[in-house]
Each structure stands twice: as C-alpha cells, then as structure tokens.
C-alpha cells in the first residue's frame, strides 16, 4: 500500500507561476484521471513531481509514503517507486530499447537482472503489448511512431512496477487499436491493486477503456472540480468551458 500526497503545490517556470496550489492524493489500487485544457499545467505537475530541473517548487509538499519526494534526485524518485511517462519522450540514438530497459530495471531494483531472465520478461511484456520482437534492438524513441512510443512507456511500467505511475497524455496520437492495447496495458497494470495511476489527459476518449475511480478537472494551474467517473462523462458532453470560466 502506497500513497502519493501532493499538498498545496505551487510551481513556477522561468518566474511565471504555473501551478497555483494543487492538492491531490493517489493511493495504490486507485486510478485517477487528471483532465484539463491545453496549457492548464498538467504536464507541469507531472514534471514537478518527477523532478525536472526547469520547474521550481515555490511552496507545498510532495510525499510518497511519508517520504519527502522533493528532496530526492530524479534517480532516487524512480527508485522510491515513482514513474513518469512523458508526453514527449526523448530520442536517444545509440541506446537500444533493450539496453535502456535493462539499465532502468537494474537501477530501480538495485541489481542487474540475469540476462536470460530479463530477456524472457521483456519478451512477455512485448508480446502482451503486441510489440514486434525487432523493437528491442531499435534505438530509443528514434523514429518511433506515436503508438510505438506509448507502447514502450507501458512496457516500462510492466518491467519497473512502480508504486505510483504518472502517465502524461499516453493516449495522444493513438489510433483506436493502439489506444486499446495501451489501455489494456494500464488496466493489467492496475489490476493487481499494488499501483496507483495518475492518468493525465486532454481527451475523454481513453476513459472508455480505462475506468478511473476519481476524476479531477484541472484549469489554470489547479484542480477546480473533482468527482467519480460520471464527471468524465459530463466533460465529454459539455467540454471544459464551464469549468475554465469558473476558475478565471
Ligand atoms: P498542459 O500539459 O496542461 O498542456 P503545460 O504544463 O505543458 O500544460 O503548460 C502550462 C503552462 O506553462 C503553459 O503556459 C506553458 O507555456 C508553460 N510552460 C510549461 N513548461 C514550460 C517550460 N519548460 N518553459 C516555459 N514555459 C513552460
Ligand atoms: Mg499540452
Ligand atoms: Mg501536457
């Protein structure tokens, strides 16, 4: 059982305040959808929690099972059990998917998995996500299609087994088939009840496949409305406008 607790988080980028007091608690076994219009600060929240140096925490706290996350390095955050799937993953020429994943697993688990064991784990993970075997030898994110990038993120989830995963627009740019595969991956991942997921999204589409327990509406750097899955249905029907007006 793990808990990520974000309290009154304020974050600035280049002296501009982007997050204006965010309160959010994600426990293992829970799936939260954080939804909001473009530019509302959703990715800023993800980056700030992950420890991106460009994002300055001006006040507030983030803890994972009581431990101060904000004082940890990016690596330490990953080892503590936090995982961020980025909206725009970086390309790393010269590093294969397989090598990258083995290093990541080694770093997070604290010891290198036996190559044979890891190869089997990797193959199973790739099969489950309908990823072709040749993918493991490709350079990280280089020339990946949108769908390949997102499948790769879910593959990381399955291998790293974080306590809390933040998925930033994992649904963007996916066709229906890829969306289904990615959603099934998220659902498989949360089914065990050991992981909490914060699913950041602009669209309600993925919520037809991944059923959130909680929905938070984000606008202008803070949460302006919270509810259960029915809130996502309302957003789909009504759009963000009435929520963004309320917060302006
Ligand atoms: P969302 O993910 O909801 O679309 P973002 O967190 O990406 O929103 O952006 C929120 C605001 O913060 C925007 O006005 C954006 O221009 C600004 N911002 C975010 N990251 C940066 C950055 N690295 N440099 C400059 N401005 C940024
Ligand atoms: Mg955006
Ligand atoms: Mg974003």
CATH at 194? 3.40.50.300
Could you give the number of structural domains in the chain?
A: 1
Q: Is residue 154 part of a domain?
A: no
* In-domain check, residue 230: yes
Pocket test for ligand 1, best of 44, 49, 51 (most atoms within 8 A of CB): 44
Residue 169's pLDDT is what?
Answer: 86
Protein residue with its CA nearest to atom 6 in ligand 1: 41
Q: Cα(116) to centroid of ligand 3, in Å?
A: 38
Residue (of 27, 5, 163, 147) closest to 84 by Cα position: 163
Structural domain of 65? 3-90+162-247
Work out the number of other CB atoms within 10 angstroms of the CB of residue 145: 12
Cβ burial 38-57 (10 Å sphere, 16+ → b, else e): eebbbbbbbbbbbbbeebeb
Q: Is residue 35 part of a domain?
A: yes
Residue 108 lies in a domain: no
Q: Is residue 11 part of a domain?
A: yes
Cβ 36 under 6 angstroms from ligand 1? yes
Instruction: Pick the atom of ligand 1 nearest to 221's CA.
Output: 10
Distance 200 CA to ligand 3 centre (A): 8
Q: Is residue 237 part of a domain?
A: yes
Distance 18 CA to ligand 2 centre (A): 13
Q: Ligand 1: distance of its center to the CA of 49 in Å?
A: 14
Task: Walk along the chain (248 residues) and give the pLDDT tens digit of each residue.
Answer: 899 999 999 999 999 999 999 999 999 999 999 999 999 999 999 999 999 999 999 999 999 999 999 999 988 999 999 998 876 777 778 889 999 999 999 999 999 999 999 999 999 999 988 899 999 999 988 888 888 888 898 899 989 999 999 999 887 778 888 888 888 888 988 888 889 999 999 888 888 899 999 999 999 999 999 999 999 989 988 888 888 775 55
Residues 6+ apart with CB under 8 A from 164: 2, 4, 26, 28, 64, 81, 82, 83, 195, 196, 197, 198
Provide the pLDDT for residue 214. Answer: 96
Q: For residue 36, give the ligand 1 atom closest to its CA.
A: 3
**13 CB under 6 A from ligand 1?**
yes
ipTM: 0.93
| 112 domain residue, yes or no | no
Per the listing, tokens 């759009």 go with 239
Residue 86 is predicted with a pLDDT of: 74
Read off the pTM: 0.92
Whether 58 maps to a domain, the answer reads: yes
Could you list which residues have their CB under 5 Å from ion ligand 2?
38
**Burial, 26: exposed, middle or buried (Cβ in 10 Å; 0-12, 13-18, 19+)?**
buried
């Amino acid at each position: 059982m793990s808990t990520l607790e974000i309290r009154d988080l304020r974050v600035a980028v280049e002296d501009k305040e982007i997050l204006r007091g965010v309160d959010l608690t994600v426990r293992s076994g829970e799936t939260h959808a954080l939804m909001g219009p473009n530019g509302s600060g959703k990715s800023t929240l993800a980056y700030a929690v992950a420890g991106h140096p460009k994002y300055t925490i001006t006040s507030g706290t983030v803890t994972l099972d009581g431990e101060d996350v904000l004082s940890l390095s990016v690596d330490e955050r990953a080892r503590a059990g936090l995982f961020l799937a980025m909206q725009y993953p970086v390309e790393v020429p010269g590093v294969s998917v397989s090598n990258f994943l083995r290093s990541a697993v080694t770093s997070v688990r604290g010891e290198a998995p036996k190559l044979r064991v890891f190869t089997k784990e990797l193959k199973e993970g790739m099969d489950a996500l309908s990823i072709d075997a040749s993918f493991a030898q490709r350079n990280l994110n280089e020339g990946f299609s949108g769908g390949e990038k997102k499948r790769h993120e879910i593959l990381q989830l399955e291998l790293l087994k974080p306590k809390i995963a933040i998925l930033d627009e994992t649904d963007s740019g996916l066709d229906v088939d890829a969306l289904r595969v990615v959603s099934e991956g998220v659902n498989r991942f949360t089914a065990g009840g050991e992981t909490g997921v914060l699913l950041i999204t602009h669209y309600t589409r993925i919520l037809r496949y991944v059923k959130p327990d909680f929905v938070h509406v984000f606008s202008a750097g803070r949460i302006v409305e919270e509810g259960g899955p029915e809130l996502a249905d309302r957003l789909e029907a009504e759009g963000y406008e009435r929520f963004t007006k309320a917060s302006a």
